[in-house]
Structure 1
């Protein structure tokens, strides 16, 4: 939040201070006088900062590209992203100019955020850190629907009709909006209690102690929020037992509707009297860490229930912890040798003593086990919310008019 306020302050200070300076340099200053000592009046005759006497509407739209910054990134830093997951989207807007430099805009935008541990990292240059992130094996895609209202401040002022606007202008914008999001994950073929996949999983299904549970949604993208992958939807009794057993309070469900603060800069170029093309780069500050459905710690999988009795439990378990979805060669020869702890642990807990599962040390552990380990059982990073950057190329059509009052004509 401090970074956002700093960036916001710099942009807005520049947007307010620079226009007058630039105008003074380019146009000789706003106090230039005629030979008789009279000031050159503005076209509109108005000296107010916000001048409603010159106003026109425009509509437009374009394409955008979204880049995600969050828990599933190439490196565990706030500014890390994988540009290969940049996906195109669209935006539509209505805009009104209401002063020499000032406009407001109502904007709708759709775009997609996406990331994957395994696709981003690969196995060629493993280190302690990225091998653990590869083993985490989380991924998501999230369609972002954003509705926002922003104020725009132009660098060069324009006090006349729309047709006399400067050929080129640079501007800053800021505002507020709402985002609807719904992160989804790709379902594997099986939920398994093994640390890695056996070559013949069909041989270990059924019976009293099955190790593989086929998933009906295999190969599909499913809503992750509905599964409560970090224990959000567990009942009150289970949550109480979890608190007593591990001393940890499980998270509550996150909202699909989130507040967002857009702030950024742009450049506009005049194509014709009625058409502009513009390029914008905007930072979106969000107030959620769940755009990727990842934030806290791995949950004790037995808290979900018994997968033998409920297929929904098997799906929730599988999507909560995907660290066991590797074949034996990839796991034993590529991943395990470079992990910070080269062990496979077996877990069963007081929540469900009959349910046992195996995981590489540090992954899939019960919520309270291993808190002294270097990486404990962190699934994500709760200290930073997710953000995204939007890059837009838009075409604006000016509806016409240009209401000018206060001017005298003969």
Structure 2
């Protein structure tokens, strides 16, 4: 039932995006279509800081509505592969003993507002580039497999959905009146602590052995209590404007 709801959500979002981009003012020099490719990673209970040795791939399709020379609305759908494992780069000795790990796919739908710091779209502008920032809302669905600790009887497939807050920054460069190339770093703040299959609500098991009682389990299910999981995109995008650049008036 949950997966059916997710499919309905993403189908409705795609139809809304198509409707936005095929409206009657498609040729009013306002709309763009684009795609992007790059890398993805996560931080949580297995990776505390971004680890270049544990990267996945990501791709995106998006539409953009330019309101003026400064503000744009971008709606898009993205796919990414995320993975992390204590066995690759444990954060400490207890993490190596824990041996948690996961891998899976993220599907997300987002809508963000972009703010451009330079007027690079004006035909007479001295700039062909502009830094920009963005902020918005979205929803993410994750499906993967993993284990919370070595010998976890509940290891295997799992899935979850969560609202997300996407934000970040980048730089755009106009190749010509129709094509724009951009490099972008995006952050995804989630409302879930379960991307890595480690639930901070579980009973607190000691991270290190008890010298007085070696039979007490330790290090198999500890996490960062109170912190939610994040994931990140870094990549290039290429977008196409359906008509020549419009000179907006303020």
TM-score range relative to shorter protein: 0.7 to 0.9
The answer for the alignment partner of 1:115 in structure 2 is 84
CA contact (8 A) 2:171 2:183 kept: yes
Which consecutive residues of structure 1, in runs of 5 or more, have no partner in the other structure? 1-53, 74-78, 122-128, 193-214, 216-220, 226-255, 301-320, 322-338, 346-359, 365-377
CA, structure 1 residues 158+382, in 2 after alignment: closer, same or farther (shift >3 Å)?
A: same
1:57, 1:402 → 2: CA distance? 10
Q: Which aligned pairs between 1:41-120 and structure 2 lie closer than 5 A? A: 55-73=29-47, 79-120=48-89
Q: Secondary structure at the match of 2:228?
A: coil
Q: Which aligned pairs between 1:184-263 and structure 2 lie closer than 5 A? A: 184-185=145-146, 222-224=156-158, 256-263=160-167
Match of 1:268 among 172, 185, 189: 172
The answer for the alignment partner of 2:217 in structure 1 is 361
The answer for the alignment partner of 2:210 in structure 1 is 341
Q: Which aligned pairs between 1:377-392 and structure 2 lie closer than 5 A? A: 378-392=221-235
Q: How far did residue 142 of structure 1 move? A: 2.6
Match of 1:166 among 115, 127, 134: 127
CA, structure 1 residues 174+58, in 2 after alignment: closer, same or farther (shift >3 Å)?
A: same
Aligned length: 220
CA, structure 1 residues 405+382, in 2 after alignment: closer, same or farther (shift >3 Å)?
A: closer
Match of 2:117 among 155, 159, 165: 155
Match of 1:140 among 88, 102, 115: 102
- Give the TM-score taking structure 2 as reference length: 0.76
Q: Which has the larger radius of gyration?
A: 1
2:246, 2:127 → 1: CA distance? 18
CA contact (8 A) 2:72 2:115 kept: yes
Q: How far did residue 183 of structure 1 move? A: 3.4
Q: How far did residue 274 of structure 1 move? A: 1.5
Q: Which aligned pairs between 1:277-292 and structure 2 lie closer than 5 A? A: 277-292=181-196
2:35, 2:115 → 1: CA distance? 20
| Bigger strand fraction | 2
2:87, 2:210 → 1: CA distance? 19
1:112, 1:157 → 2: CA distance? 35
